[in-house]
């Protein structure tokens, strides 16, 4: 796994580097945003970028936004010392997949990285071995890391319990059709009216979950567990922010969504399409 690490404090950068390398990750270090963008252009794309928010020149938010524009399928995790909720939301709205708040333990950071990486490659077995999507999802849930002191221990069962596939004729090809949308598990792509919609790794996993449970109300707790992992340390707003980002990409009028419906006080539902 190739990691781009952006952190201006050498002590923290060294601490993170040591722990990444202990977990057999290849690390490229940058101490400012300009270097990080240059390394991404010269050596990228990387699998995952770890971006500090507070930097001496351009901020980690700007780096996140620019990396997301250039590499939509790259994993991005923000490293922030700020506890203000608006900072977390801002990073997620710019395209970050996750955030880790300083000070953090090596175990938490590695768990978040591995969880995101599995999300990005959850369907590799489907492409390579012809496995069913649910089988890959169950394997993902079974290997979720345990992070002690998790705030999410009360969430319900994971993706193995909350993910279903479509009709029998949809299973062999790993393709699901819903109204104007076509989702291909093997290609990890989504099209609307024949035009591809570019999704981040997290957005892809969330869309797939909702489409595979078309017409069913899915709680925020279940979404958080299925997409971010059973032991995710974070709050439910990460779900809302990602839904908002997806609506900007797939809805004709995001303020009046036609495809991803809000189930007030509960969660979200992919609207069942009219079938002939």
Q: Are residues 144 and 245 in the same domain?
A: yes
In whole angstroms, how far apart are CA 221 and each of 67, 99, 237, 239, 261?
29, 18, 11, 9, 16
Ordered mean pLDDT values, 10 residues apiece, the chain (276 residues): 94 93 94 94 90 90 93 90 73 88 87 86 54 40 36 37 39 77 90 93 92 93 87 78 94 92 94 70
The verdict on residue 222 lying in a domain is yes
Are 200 and 97 in contact by the 8 Å Cβ rule? The answer is yes
The verdict on residue 254 lying in a domain is yes
Are 100 and 112 in contact by the 8 Å Cβ rule? The answer is yes
Q: Are residues 198 and 232 in the same domain?
A: yes
Per-residue confidence (pLDDT) for residue 158, from 0 to 100: 38
Q: Are residues 109 and 168 in the same domain?
A: no
- Total domain count for the chain? 2
Q: Are residues 110 and 227 in the same domain?
A: no
Per-residue confidence (pLDDT) for residue 149, from 0 to 100: 34
Per-residue confidence (pLDDT) for residue 102, from 0 to 100: 83
The verdict on residue 131 lying in a domain is no
The verdict on residue 39 lying in a domain is yes
Q: Are residues 190 and 88 in the same domain?
A: no
Q: Are residues 170 and 96 in the same domain?
A: no
Q: Are residues 202 and 81 in the same domain?
A: no
What is the strand order of the sheet 2-6 is part of?
26-30, 2-6, 48-52, 75-80, 98-101
Q: Are residues 141 and 216 in the same domain?
A: yes
The verdict on residue 44 lying in a domain is yes
Per-residue confidence (pLDDT) for residue 64, from 0 to 100: 94
Residue with tokens 């880790």: 100
Q: Are residues 150 and 68 in the same domain?
A: no
Question: What are 75's strand-pairing partners?
Answer: 48
Per the document, the length of the chain is 276
The residue among 116, 68, 126 whose CA lies nearest residue 94 is 68
Are 115 and 158 in contact by the 8 Å Cβ rule? The answer is no
The verdict on residue 13 lying in a domain is yes
The verdict on residue 49 lying in a domain is yes
Q: Are residues 97 and 142 in the same domain?
A: no
Per-residue confidence (pLDDT) for residue 138, from 0 to 100: 39
Express the helix, strand and coil content of the chain in percent, nearest 5 each.
40, 20, 40
Per-residue confidence (pLDDT) for residue 81, from 0 to 100: 75
Tokens of 36: 């990080």
Per-residue confidence (pLDDT) for residue 148, from 0 to 100: 34
Range of the domain at 9: 2-120
The verdict on residue 129 lying in a domain is no
């Amino acid at each position: 796994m190739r990691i781009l690490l952006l952190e201006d404090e050498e002590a923290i950068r060294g601490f993170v580097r040591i722990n990444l390398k202990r977990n057999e990750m290849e690390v490229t270090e940058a101490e400012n945003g300009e270097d990080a963008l240059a390394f991404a252009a010269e050596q990228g794309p990387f699998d995952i970028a770890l971006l500090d928010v507070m930097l001496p020149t351009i901020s980690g938010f700007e780096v996140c936004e620019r990396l997301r524009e250039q590499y939509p399928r790259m994993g991005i995790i923000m490293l922030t010392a700020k506890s203000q909720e608006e900072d977390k939301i801002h990073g997620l709205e710019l395209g970050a997949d996750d955030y880790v708040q300083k000070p953090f333990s090596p175990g938490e950071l590695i768990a978040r990285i591995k969880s995101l990486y599995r999300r990005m490659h959850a369907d590799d077995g489907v492409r390579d071995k012809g496995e069913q999507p649910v089988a890959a999802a169950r394997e993902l849930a079974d290997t979720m890391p345990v992070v002690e002191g998790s705030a999410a221990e009360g969430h319900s069962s994971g993706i193995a319990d909350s993910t279903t596939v479509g009709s029998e004729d949809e299973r062999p090809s790993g393709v699901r059709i819903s109204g104007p949308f076509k989702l291909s598990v093997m290609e990890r792509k989504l099209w609307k009216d024949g035009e591809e919609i570019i999704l981040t790794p997290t957005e892809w996993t969330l869309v797939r979950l909702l489409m595979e449970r078309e017409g069913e109300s899915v709680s925020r707790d279940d979404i958080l567990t299925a997409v971010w992992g059973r032991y995710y340390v974070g709050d439910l707003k990460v779900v809302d922010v990602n839904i908002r980002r997806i609506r900007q990409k797939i809805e004709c009028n995001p303020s009046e969504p036609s495809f991803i419906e809000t189930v007030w006080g509960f969660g979200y539902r992919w609207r069942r399409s009219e079938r002939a």
